[in-house]
């Protein structure tokens, strides 16, 4: 991994993680993830964000100082945009090597750093509008954007270059090679990182969409010419592309999203499965795309991403021990925990003697205040008969009609 110059006097250092680990202990990284750190060099040197403390990762970062002909001891300021360990785990090892440095951090961050790390290093608390002059025309200005993932989050802005060091905001999954800038990626690669961005957003940031909207509003006042996030590409050719994408993702929190349905289904003996074909036929006849995930086979990480950008959700699952097919209940519970609200929904499924899936579904929706809007369910005893299949087709078409009507109109992604 090579260090590289972002722009005059600003450098990107980075380490890749994955694919063998789960991010946050939950989310698969089939394409890895990058952890970016940035050096800003005026008369004094600042490092913004960092990496985790896993084997060899801090050392990867230190080796990149050497590539740039710089010394770790030259760092005067360490800016912690937020204290999550994937960006701060390295601090202990850094403190052992570094010379005379000061940590710049929010008040909440200082409190958290104390709780996580027993570090005897000087902390300077900064707040929105504070700045530090590094000399040689380089300055760091801080803006708090609390709860964009963690409560202590801030961004750091360098006015002479218009660089926004955004930490988790504007991040994506996906490891990076030695071409980490949007101007070095072709359209297919950019779209790849945008898809990894959706999964990152839905898995990591979605819950904090209201603070994301507030942060986006705050950042509108800045002349951002480069977006330098803690994960994924650095956007210097078209920084608005990732900003617009995040605006879009945050807007999906209200419910209406793309004109798309995610169909989630699970079945023990194939009776519920028979409902899928007419349902899919109906949705397609209504002119709407469907993405299908079987549970428990599909990973919740992909399901979250798909549902996040769907205006409609179709659910197909049987009754199991007087309740819902358990893997579907788990999935719906997770969708509720992530705050996925206001989806247009249709449920179908088979039962044997009592039913119960629908009752549990209603409970989950109420428990998590999901406010999903349901069409009349198509529930059948045993295998579906011709009338059920016809009804499924009709309801699928009706779902598609409503989805089209409610989806967000302007959809560049």
Site of interaction with ligand FMN (CB under 6 A): 267-273, 318-322, 350-356, 382
Contact assessment for residue 258 and residue 36, using Cβ atoms and an 8 Å cutoff: no
Least gap, CB of 349 to ligand FMN (angstroms): 7
Residue 322 or 367: the one with the smaller Cβ distance to ligand FMN is 322
Residue 182 or 388: the one with the smaller Cβ distance to ligand FMN is 388
Q: Taking CB positions, which residue lies at the least distance from ligand FMN?
A: 352
Least gap, CB of 400 to ligand FMN (angstroms): 23
Residue by residue, DSSP assigns 54-99 as STTHHHHHHHHHHHTT--GGGEEEEE-S---HHHHTTHHHHHHH--
Residue 55 or 353: the one with the smaller Cβ distance to ligand FMN is 353
Nearest one of 155, 149, 248, 231 to 193, comparing CA atoms: 231
Residue 135 or 269: the one with the smaller Cβ distance to ligand FMN is 269
Least gap, CB of 298 to ligand FMN (angstroms): 17
Nearest one of 132, 234, 151, 255 to 190, comparing CA atoms: 234
- Collapsing DSSP to helix, strand or coil, 15 comes out as strand
- Collapsing DSSP to helix, strand or coil, 120 comes out as coil
Residue 105 or 324: the one with the smaller Cβ distance to ligand FMN is 324
Contact assessment for residue 323 and residue 329, using Cβ atoms and an 8 Å cutoff: yes
Nearest one of 46, 51, 30 to 104, comparing CA atoms: 46
Compute the distance between CA of residue 364 and CA of residue 336 in angstroms, rounded to an integer.
8
Residue 165 or 320: the one with the smaller Cβ distance to ligand FMN is 320
Burial class (CB in 10 A: 0-12, 13-18, 19+), 229: buried
Residue 268 or 366: the one with the smaller Cβ distance to ligand FMN is 268
Least gap, CB of 322 to ligand FMN (angstroms): 4
* CA distance to 184, 258, 261, per residue, from 313 (Å): 37, 12, 5
Least gap, CB of 325 to ligand FMN (angstroms): 7
Least gap, CB of 268 to ligand FMN (angstroms): 3
Residue 201 or 325: the one with the smaller Cβ distance to ligand FMN is 325
- The order of strands in the sheet holding 226-229 is 131-135, 138-144, 154-158, 163-167, 226-229
Least gap, CB of 348 to ligand FMN (angstroms): 10
Least gap, CB of 378 to ligand FMN (angstroms): 13
How far from each other are the two terminal CA atoms of the chain, in whole angstroms?
Answer: 30
Residue 256 or 349: the one with the smaller Cβ distance to ligand FMN is 349
Least gap, CB of 283 to ligand FMN (angstroms): 19
Contact assessment for residue 312 and residue 399, using Cβ atoms and an 8 Å cutoff: yes
Least gap, CB of 354 to ligand FMN (angstroms): 4
Angle, vertex CA 43, rays to CA 42 and CA 48, nearest 5: 45
Compute the distance between CA of residue 262 and CA of residue 197 in angstroms, rounded to an integer.
18
Helix (H), strand (E) at residue 271:
none
Residue 136 or 354: the one with the smaller Cβ distance to ligand FMN is 354
Q: Would residue 329 be called left, alpha or beta, if left means φ above 0 and alpha means ψ between -120 and 50 degrees?
A: alpha
* CA distance to 56, 219, 281, 338, per residue, from 223 (Å): 37, 9, 48, 32
């Amino acid at each position: 991994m090579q260090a590289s110059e972002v722009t005059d006097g600003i450098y990107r250092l980075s380490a890749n993680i994955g694919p063998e680990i789960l991010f946050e202990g939950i989310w698969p990284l089939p394409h890895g993830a990058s952890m970016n750190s940035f050096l800003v060099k005026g008369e004094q040197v600042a490092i913004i964000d960092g990496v985790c403390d896993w084997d060899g990762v801090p050392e990867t970062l230190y080796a990149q100082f050497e590539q740039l002909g710089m010394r770790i001891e030259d760092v005067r300021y360490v800016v912690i945009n937020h204290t999550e360990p994937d960006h701060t785990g390295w601090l202990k090892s850094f403190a052992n090597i570094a010379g005379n440095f000061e940590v710049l951090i929010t008040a909440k961050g200082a409190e958290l750093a104390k709780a996580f790390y027993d570090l005897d290093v000087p902390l300077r608390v900064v707040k929105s509008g504070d700045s530090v002059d590094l000399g040689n025309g380089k300055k760091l200005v801080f803006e708090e954007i609390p709860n964009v993932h963690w409560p202590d989050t801030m961004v750091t802005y360098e006015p002479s270059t218009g660089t926004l060091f955004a930490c988790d905001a504007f991040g994506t999954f996906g490891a990076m090679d030695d071409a980490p800038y949007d101007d070095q990626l072709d359209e297919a690669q950019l779209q790849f990182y945008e898809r990894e961005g959706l999964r990152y957003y839905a898995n990591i940031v979605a819950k904090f969409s209201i603070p994301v909207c507030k942060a986006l509003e705050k950042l509108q006042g800045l002349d951002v010419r480069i977006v330098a996030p803690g994960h994924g590409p650095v956007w210097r050719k078209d920084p608005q592309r990732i900003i617009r994408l995040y605006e879009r993702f945050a807007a999906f929190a209200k419910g209406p999203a793309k004109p798309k349905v995610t169909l989630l289904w699970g079945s023990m003996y194939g009776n519920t499965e028979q409902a899928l074909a007419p349902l899919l036929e109906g949705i397609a006849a209504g002119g709407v795309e469907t993405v299908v995930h079987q549970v428990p086979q599909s990973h919740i990480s992909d399901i979250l991403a798909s549902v996040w950008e769907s205006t409609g959700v179709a659910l197909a699952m049987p009754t199991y021990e007087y309740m819902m097919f358990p893997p579907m209940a788990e999935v719906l519970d997770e969708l509720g925990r992530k705050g996925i609200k206001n989806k247009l929904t249709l449920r179908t499924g088979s039962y044997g003697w009592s039913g119960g899936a629908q009752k549990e579904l209603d409970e989950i929706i109420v428990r998590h205040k999901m406010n999903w809007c349901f069409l009349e369910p198509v529930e059948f005893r045993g295998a579906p008969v011709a009338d059920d299949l016809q009804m499924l087709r009709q309801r699928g078409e009706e779902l598609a009609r409503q989805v089209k009507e409610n989806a967000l109109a302007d959809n560049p992604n």
